[in-house]
Amino acid sequence: MFSYRHAFHAGNHADVLKHFVLVQLLQYMNQKDTAYSYIDTHAGAGVYALDGNFASKNAEYETGIGPLWERTDLPPALAEYVDLIKAMNPSGKMRYYPGSPYCADQVAREQDRLRLYELHPADSKILTDNFRKLDEHKAAQGIRSSVRGKRVLVTRGDGFHELKGLLPPPSRRGVVLCDPPYEDKQDYRKVVDMLNDATKRFPAGTYAIWYPILQRIEARNFAERMKHIKGTEWLNVTLTIRTPGPDGFGGLHSSGMFIVNPPFTLEATLKEVMPYLVEVLGEDTGASFVLETGNAATAPRAASLQQAENNPRGGLRAPVSPRAIGPGGSLRGNNAPAPRGSLRTSSRPGTPGAGTGTGRPGSPGASYTRPAGAKPVAKLGTDGPRTGVPRNTKPRRP
């Protein structure tokens, strides 16, 4: 039950996708003065030492934050996320990586509330100690809160169960992040059950679900089950960095973020950033991303995106007019029919056959290519031993 430790995976490509999207969600919430609650059902330890024994064992950060660390051509939205990571590494050396609680603490404002749940006894204690040290550091600098109540509460408990007592939050504004380890296949069912219950208790809430893309049947059907939760508008984005092995081994190759009631700005941001992540983090021609939106009452929009080898012009296609939609709402053409209302593509931008179109990454008809003169991304190594230190369908407005 307590075998999973996220420290082994800290900073990998799945963390990049998850935490980048989380930062975007919270920054959108910050646009309105009214306070909100951030609820993390599986918070982890909060901060991870990349040169510690756990993270350095497989060095999974080399598939994620590592290749982004020294880049000077980051899209602005992605640069904000990377800058947050660099702020906790003032020496300039990549030693620490924040979990979602620390990301939320840095982005959320003084009036916002963080409610963090972690069931693992060791990680729960580390998380509590980390926030206690942050409070002590602020107190030593003479920083005092101007709002009443405890801003951050860490609880050792089952986030699936505890969430029920927190919804709706007092301010009727909130973001819930749920990213269980999925080692137990029952986690897939628990997430869907949680969403069904939570969206009834708090229909206006924003819910962010991280999930791995694996060969097990529960994982393959997972996103489709969430798309049919009643009364919800959703956005689904996935990132694949390499072709999955035929036997299912070789480490995590793909993950996704499923957002219920997403900000209306998020889709455009992802159209710009996801091609860049595929280019920089992709390890072979199987690297790709999927971006689709819809609601439970309709099929995914025909303007949904995926990245494609079937597109002779390469890059991202422009939105499809209603006339291009075939019977039942599915797009006809190319090879096998795409999921209802979505464009299907699969090649990395800039690969042979993907075209040489220019333009901002994510713009219709443009493909992303490596800037002229840019050097290939270097893999980070371990030079000797290191020492560890511990919607309804209308756009939502803030």
pLDDT at residue 59, rounded to an integer: 79
The reply, when asked if residue 179 is annotated as ligand binding, is: yes
Q: Quick check: 320 pLDDT over 70?
A: no
Q: Quick check: 377 pLDDT over 50?
A: no
The reply, when asked if residue 159 is annotated as ligand binding, is: yes
pLDDT at residue 96, rounded to an integer: 94
pLDDT at residue 54, rounded to an integer: 66
Q: Tell me which of 232 and 331 has the higher pLDDT.
A: 232
User: For residue 176, how many other CB atoms are within 10 A of its CB?
Assistant: 25
Q: Tell me which of 268 and 308 has the higher pLDDT.
A: 268
Give the Cα separation of 234 and 342 in Å (integer): 14
Task: Express each pLDDT in 181-231 by its tens digit.
Answer: 998 899 999 999 999 999 999 999 999 999 999 988 888 889 999 999 988
Task: Express each pLDDT in 328-361 by its tens digit.
Answer: 333 333 333 333 333 333 334 444 333 333 333 4
Q: Tell me which of 292 and 372 has the higher pLDDT.
A: 292
Q: Tell me which of 370 and 286 has the higher pLDDT.
A: 286
Task: Express each pLDDT in 75-132 by its tens digit.
Answer: 999 999 999 999 999 999 999 999 999 999 999 999 999 999 999 999 999 999 999 9
Q: Which domains does the chain have, with CATH numbers?
A: 6-233 (3.40.50.150)
Place of tokens 């992040």: 177
pLDDT at residue 55, rounded to an integer: 67
The reply, when asked if residue 149 is annotated as ligand binding, is: no
Q: Quick check: 43 pLDDT over 90?
A: yes
The reply, when asked if residue 42 is annotated as ligand binding, is: yes
Mean pLDDT of 288-304: 73
Point out the residues that are catalytic: 179
Q: Tell me which of 183 and 260 has the higher pLDDT.
A: 260
pLDDT at residue 8, rounded to an integer: 74
pLDDT at residue 197, rounded to an integer: 97
Task: Express each pLDDT in 54-79 by its tens digit.
Answer: 666 677 899 999 999 999 999 999 99
- Mean pLDDT check: name the lowest of 164-173, 214-223, 360-369: 360-369
- Cis amide bond preceding 168, omega within 30: yes
pLDDT at residue 58, rounded to an integer: 74
Q: What is the mean pLDDT of the chain?
A: 78
- Mean pLDDT check: name the lowest of 308-317, 323-332, 344-353: 323-332
Beta strands at 288-295 and 305-306: parallel, antiparallel or unpaired? antiparallel
Task: Express each pLDDT in 121-156 by its tens digit.
Answer: 999 999 999 999 888 877 788 877 777 678 999 999
**Percent with pLDDT over 90 in the chain:** 56
pLDDT at residue 318, rounded to an integer: 35
pLDDT at residue 249, rounded to an integer: 61
The reply, when asked if residue 228 is annotated as ligand binding, is: no
Give the Cα separation of 306 and 343 in Å (integer): 6
Under the banding of pLDDT at 50, 70 and 90, the label for residue 11 is: very high
Q: Tell me which of 395 and 287 has the higher pLDDT.
A: 287
Side-chain half-sphere CA neighbours of 274 within 13 A: 31
